[in-house]
Amino acid sequence: MKFKLTLAVFLFAVVAVAQPAGELDPTFGDEGKILQSINVGEDKAYGVALQDDNKVVVIGSTFDAATGLDFLLIRFNEDGSLDTDFGEEGIVQTDVQFGSSDVAYDVVIQGDGKIILAGSSDDGVDQNAALVRYHTDGTIDADFGTDGVVLTDFDEGKSDEIRVVKIHALTGNIIVGGSAIISSTKSKPVVARYLSDGSLDESFETDGIRLLWIDDLDYQYLFSVEDLAVTSAGKITAVGWRDFPDLSWDSDYWAGRINADGTMDPTFSSDGVNVYNGAFNGHDRAYGLILNPDNSFFIAGGGYIETLRYDETLIEINESGSVGDDYAIADYGSWYNDIAYSLANDSEGRFILAGSTKNDDEAEFTITRFTSGFELDADFGSGGKVTTTFGSNDFNESFDMLIQPDNKIIAVGYSGNDVAIARYLGEDTPELNEFILQTPAAGATNQNYASLAFNWTNAFGATGYEFEFDTSPDFTDAPEVYTPVSSAYTVTDLLPDTEYFWRVRATDGDVWGDYSEVWSFTTNSLDNFNLVSPANGATDQSESSLDLDWTTAVGALEYEVQYALNPTFTESPVTFTTGSSNYTLTGLALETLYYWRVRATNDGDNFGDWTSAWNFTTASDVGIDDWSADNLKVYPNPSNGVFYVEFSELALGEVYQIMDVTGKIVVEGDVNQIIIPFDIQLNKGVYFLQLKNNPKSLIKLTIQ
C-alpha cells in the first residue's frame, strides 16, 4: 500500500544558556569529541552500543594496506579514553576472509556481554552477509559459527549485506535486516533469523531467511532494510526504503511486519508491507525505528519536503500500517541534504535523531531533538538542533547514536579519514565550578568598610552559594559565612584599613562545587580624604564667616575640626564636631594666621589620623564699603545648577568669578544688576563664587 504524507515546516525560537542540553560533554574525550585513527587509510564508524558498565563499543571499518577493508571494533571507557584491557590497546581489527573487503554496519551486545558485529564480507568473488562474535575481552568467540564467523548468502549470486542486527531477549535469537543486491538498480529487502550459535533458524521461513519482494513489480526497485524491532512474541517490524532508480526523484519510506514464523503479517496491510510517499514525489528514506508497546511505531530518516533536498523527518505509523497524526521535520538549510540515520527516545520521551547535513563541499554531524509532542525542542541546542565538526575536516557524518541512562547522547561516524565520536549533554547540566569572582577585584584597596558589595558570575544550575570571608587567607581567624541564593552579597561594618580574604562555592541543592580561588581586598582607612578649601596659604579670608571644606571619608559618621594659632595646635586650639564634610567658622580675628585640620571617626570612639595642617590668613579690613556676609546671597543652594545670586548695590560694576575646587575660573561676568540668575551646566560638585577684587566675598556653591 502507498500513503501520501504532507509535512509542514515549523519555526522555533532559539534559547541560549550556558552548559545546556545539546552542548558537548566536556568530561568525554577532548572536550566532548574523539578523533580516532586506526590505519593510514579510511576509518569509519557505523554503529555504537553501551555496555552495562557504561563502556562504549564502536564498530565500523578500517582500510589496511595489506588486507583491505576490515571489521573495526573499538571499546572506550566512560570518559572516552581507550579501554586498554580490550583487544590491542582498545582496538580490534578483523579480516573476516583473507584479503576480503569487510564492513561492519551494526553491533549488538548479548546479555552475557559478548559482542556481535554485522555487515558484509566480499572475497572478490561474492559478497556475503557477515556476522562475527567476540568475547568481552575482544577475542573472537570460536564457538560462534565457524571460528567466530558466520557468512550467509541471502540469495544465490547476489551481493548480500546486513545493515541492522538485534537480539531477541527471550530466546537469544539473532535477527538481522539488510538486502540482497542484484545490481546498482535492483535489490531485495531481507530479514533473517539465526540461533544463538550462529546457525540459521529453520523455523523462520523454513531456511531462516525472509526475502521481501512481495509485489510482482518489486523487481523494478532497489530496496534496503535499515532498522528493525522485535516484540517479546517474536514479531518483527522492519523499516527502510524503496528506490525506483529509473526515476530521478522516486524513493519512498518502506516498512514491513513479519510474524514470528517468517510469514507476513496481514494486519499490517494486506500483504504485510507498506510504502509511504512524502510531501511530493521526491526522495524519502527511513533509517531509524522506535516500536511502541501497541505495535505502532515511529520512523526517522530524510524526505524531500519543500525543496529538492532532504530534510530530517520523524513520522508516526499506526499499528495497522496507516500514517498516524504525528510528524515533524528539521531543516538545517535549504541547500543542504539533512538525513537522520538513527532514532531513539530518551528517558523523558523526547525523540533524538542523529545524522548529517551536507552538500557537495561539506558535511556536519547533526543531533536533533523533538519533544514528545513532535515539536523541535527549544531547550536543546539551537532551537532543537546541534551541528558538530571535528578539526579542519570538511566532511563529518554521523551514522548511529545511543542514549545513556543519564540522557547523554553519543553519536559516531567519521571525520575526514578518521573515526569520529561526540558525546552531548542530554539535560541542562549544573556547572558548579564554572564561575568567577568579580568585585571587589583581587587585591583591591580603599574599599568601603561601612558597606561593600560582593559579586561573582552565576554558576549554571546553582540554586545557592556559600560566601565566606575572613582576615586570614586560610579562613581560620574568625570566618564569616553567608548563604545567598544569588551571585551577590553586601557586607556591612567591616574594620577600616584591614585586609580581608573571600571565596565562594555553589550548590545545586544536592551537592556543593569546589571553592573558588581566594581573593583579597583592603578596606579604606579613616584618614582617606583631603582638605579642599580654603586653599592652603589662602589670604584675605572672611573673619565673620568662613567655610571649611574637605572630601568625604567613606564610612565616616562624624568629623572633628580643629583650628589654632600655631601648627602644633597648642595655642588657642578650638575643636568642633560635624556630621558633614564642611564646617563654617565665625568670629575670627582680622589679619590673623590660622591653622586647621580634620580627622574622621566611624563610631565616635575610633578616630583616623589628623590631616596635615593647612593655614589661611584673615583679611586686614572688611573691603568694599565695610563688606559683610549680607552683601552676597545665593539661593537655592545646593541646587541642580540653577542659582539666583543677590548682590549688594556695593557690588554693582564689579566682576564676579565662579571657580572649581582647584581654583580654575569656569564662569566670569559683570555685576550689572542686583539679582542675577545662573544656569550653570557643570558637573556635580563644589564650586566657589566671589567678586574678583574682593576675596572676602567667597561663597560656596553646591551642584547636586
CATH number of the domain where residue 701 is located: 2.60.40.1930
Going by pLDDT thresholds of 50, 70 and 90, the confidence category of residue 681 is confident
- 497 in any annotated domain: yes
Is 223 inside any structural domain? Answer: no
pLDDT score of 608 more than 80: yes
pLDDT at 7: 38
d(CA 88, CA 11): 48
| pLDDT tens column, 17-28 | 357 899 999 999
Regarding whether 640 and 553 lie in a shared domain, the answer is no
**Residue 644 domain boundaries:** 628-704
- Average pLDDT for the chain: 91
pLDDT range class, residue 689, cuts 50, 70, 90: confident
Does residue 369 belong to any structural domain of this protein?
no
**Domain end: 568, 589, 621, which one?**
621
- For residue 13, what pLDDT is reported? 30
How many residues are there in the chain? 704
Task: DSSP for 254-288, please give it.
Answer: EEEEE-TTS-B-TTTSSSSEEEEE-SSSSBEEEEE
Is residue 218 classed as helix, strand or coil in its secondary structure? helix
Domain shared by 614 and 529, yes or no: yes
Whole-number pLDDT of residue 629? 52
- Which pLDDT score is estimated for 39? 94
Say whether both 474 and 512 belong to one domain: yes
Q: Out of 105-109, 192-196, 578-582, which region has the weakest mean confidence (pLDDT)? A: 578-582
Cell of 389: 565538526
Based on the fold, state whether residues 533 and 616 are members of the same structural domain.
Answer: yes
Which of these three, 497, 523, 549, is where a domain ends? Answer: 523
Q: For residues 483 and 537, state if they share a domain.
A: no
- The mean pLDDT of 457-476, rounded to a whole number, is 93
- Asked if the model's pLDDT at residue 615 lies above 70, the reply is yes
616 and 567 belong to one structural domain = yes
The verdict on 608 and 645 lying in the same domain is no
Same domain assignment for residues 666 and 587: no
660 shares its domain with 687: yes
- 8 A C-beta contact, residue 549 and residue 527: no
Which of 496, 523, 550 marks a domain boundary? 523
Residue 12: the pLDDT is 30
532 and 615 co-located in one domain: yes
Number of domains in the chain: 3
Residue 517, in any domain of the structure? yes
Q: Residue 457: how many CB atoms within 10 A of its CB?
A: 13
- Which CATH number covers residue 567? 2.60.40.10
**pLDDT for residue 387 is more than 80:** yes
Instruction: Mark whether 556 and 577 lie in a shared domain.
Output: yes
What pLDDT does residue 444 have? 95
User: Is 8's pLDDT higher than 60?
Assistant: no
Residues 6+ apart with CB under 8 A from 175: 165, 166, 167, 168, 191, 192, 193, 194, 228, 230, 236
pLDDT of 72 strictly over 70: yes
Residue 654 lies in a domain: yes
- Tell me if 556 is assigned to some domain: yes
- 674 & 699 share domain: yes
Q: Answer whether residue 571 is part of any domain.
A: yes
Is residue 388 assigned to a domain? no
pLDDT for the residue 628: 55
Q: Mean pLDDT check: name the lowest of 383-387, 523-527, 557-561.
A: 523-527
Q: How many CA atoms lie within 13 A of 412 on its CB side?
A: 28
